[in-house]
Amino acid sequence: MVEAQLVGLDPRVEAFLQGGPKKLFIGGDFVESVSGKTFDSVNPANAEVITAVYEADKEDVDRAVEAAERAFYGDWAKVTPSERGRLLWKLADLMDDHLEALAQLESLDNGKPVAHARAVDIPLAIDHFRYYAGWATKISGELIDSSAGRSMLTYTRREPVGVVGQIIPWNFPILMSAWKLGAALATGNAVILKTAEQTPLSALYLAGLIQQAGFPDGVVNIISGFGPTAGAAIVTHPRIRKVAFTGSTEVGKLIMQQASGNLKRVSLELGGKSPNIIFPDADFSKAIPGALMGIFFNQGQVCTAGSRLFVHKKVYDNVVADMTSHAAKMKLGPGLDESTDIGPLVSAEQFSRVSGYLHKGVEEGATPTTGGRPLEHPGYFVPPTIFTDVSDQMTIAREEIFGPVVVALPFDDEAQIADVIRRANNTEYGLAAGVWTTDVRKAHKVAHALEAGTVWVNCYNALDASVPFGGYKQSGFGREMGSAALELYTQVKAVWVNLD
Ligand code: NAP
Ligand code: MG
């Protein structure tokens, strides 16, 4: 690793990190946890503690539910849709003003390159709030005319669900906060959001902006804590009516079971092992960078990561050689170095998980063309790794690695594309997929046949607040973003009025 040149910290980040453990945001105030317990948030680039954070547990969730209910039935219920939209827009403007601080904090806590946080994570989060600000005034029911003959007026209303719980992962802390909060707030719910234990900081910074924007106290509560304690308290709470979760498929299954206590509505965005298919007629000037970004962006810690790269035999050697030479040149370094392409993985735990997969790959007979070994460094660095000599049955071709590791799998059925589709679909997951071809018929045919919630044609990881996102199969259910997310956070009431 080259000597790092770190950006000077934004004074607002320094101020934020000063003054003892960071507090939970409950009922519009920053408060200590009931137990007084704290945990450390660690900089994954050097394994040093950034700051301590108060640790929420069941009692804190109870307090947050009290505050959220008070808001939901009180001040928040009186806020007009137009005002809700204005508050969301105001929050987006404040985030714009604080963009650099948010980007640096995200990089510090998660490890991701600050340049990416600045150009992708934070702007997408801001855009997300602006998009849902627009929806706040456009939530409506319908008039059902077919009952008119009976002298009945029948109409529906789309009402908020109430107090909702949201649990997010560590890979895109601010963006996932925005995905969760945007639609929930536009539709008038009150929220308790739990961040991941590895990355509590940027959402607490966001909480300060939420306070400044002027949302009524208790509408948004943001707590830091652990899954089995604070997370489980949300999932099992009898007065929380819905839980939205993003994270591993394993925890998603647990949440579904635990949420059954009060029949909470559940939506899940889970893992993936997404196929990315390169046909021989692809435009390689786009396909190669697209496939590289598809797997290595955010150190591969992306639920949609294109981690199974299917490449047609005719072009396999060239594609692998080209990708290998680019991957080998990517610069590993701390996220706060402007020139970093690949930062550290988020935590020691993730580092050892991913390192375990590198080991397993070689053990099962695969060959890394680049990377293949974690770095010896106090931080959690794993170089971009491309495996060849992989069979579909190997562990590294089946399990979600969630690191900068791709398996390159040849296929050879250009005339009959069914076989590559069968292989691409032969996974328990179904979050996303990519197709690279200049043949428009093939592109659509393959896009329709792939079992995935998102298919990218001649692009990868494209996202927009207006486009629904979610999984097929064990990648979850429910759609975030676009108008689809409004369904997650509203319920339909039918009103019958007898006119006789
Ligand atoms: P995870 O355990 O699923 O964590 C996601 C969120 O769920 C965190 O806020 C976590 O809290 C919380 N949680 C954990 N157990 C819970 C429980 N019993 N009840 C309620 N909430 C609970 O993911 P992870 O352990 O950080 O990562 C493990 C693997 O999951 C990764 O290697 C990757 O394969 C996958 N993953 C996928 C995504 C995705 O976007 N699809 C995101 C992250 C991870 P804690 O922070 O305390 O664990
Ligand atoms: Mg976990």
Distance 308 CA to ligand 2 centre (A): 24
Give domain limits for the chain.
11-270+476-494, 275-465
CB 453 within 8 A of CB 430: yes
Residue 393 one-letter amino acid: Q
Task: Show the beta-strand stretches assigned E in 163-287.
Answer: 163-167, 190-194, 220-223, 242-246, 265-269, 275-278
Q: Which CATH class is domain 275-465?
A: alpha beta
pLDDT digits (tens, 9 = 90+) for 331-350: 999 999 999 999 999 999 99
Q: Are strands 476-477 and 265-269 parallel, antiparallel or unpaired?
A: antiparallel
pLDDT digits (tens, 9 = 90+) for 216-252: 999 999 999 999 999 999 999 999 999 999 999 999 9
Distance 97 CA to ligand 1 centre (A): 31
pTM of the model: 0.98
* Residue 25, SS3 per DSSP: strand
Ligand 1 atom nearest 475 alpha carbon: 41
Q: Which ligand is nearest to the CA of 237?
A: 1
pLDDT digits (tens, 9 = 90+) for 362-396: 999 999 999 999 999 899 999 999 999 999 999 99
Provide the 8-state DSSP code for 387.
Answer: E
Q: 55, 106, 197, 269: which is the annotated catalytic residue?
A: 269
488's enclosing H/E stretch is helix 484-488
CA 187 – CA 76 distance, rounded (Å): 11
Nearest CA to ligand 1 atom 38: 247
Q: Which ligand is nearest to the CA of 350?
A: 1
- According to DSSP, the residues that pair with 25 across neighbouring strands are 30, 222
Name residues of the chain where pLDDT drops below 50.
none
Q: CA angle, 68 as apex, 62 and 70 as ends, to 5°?
A: 105
CATH architecture for the domain at 11-270+476-494: 3-Layer(aba) Sandwich (3.40)
Decide: residue 100, CB within 10 A, 0-12 exposed, 13-18 middle, 19+ buried. Answer: middle
Nearest CA to ligand 1 atom 27: 248
Question: Pick from 369, 363, 366: which is nearest to 322 by CA?
Answer: 369
326 Cβ contact partners less than 8 Å away, ≥ 6 residues apart: 288, 289, 292
Is 269 one of the annotated active-site residues of the chain? yes
Is 32 one of the annotated active-site residues of the chain? no
pLDDT digits (tens, 9 = 90+) for 466-497: 999 999 999 999 999 999 999 999 999 999 99
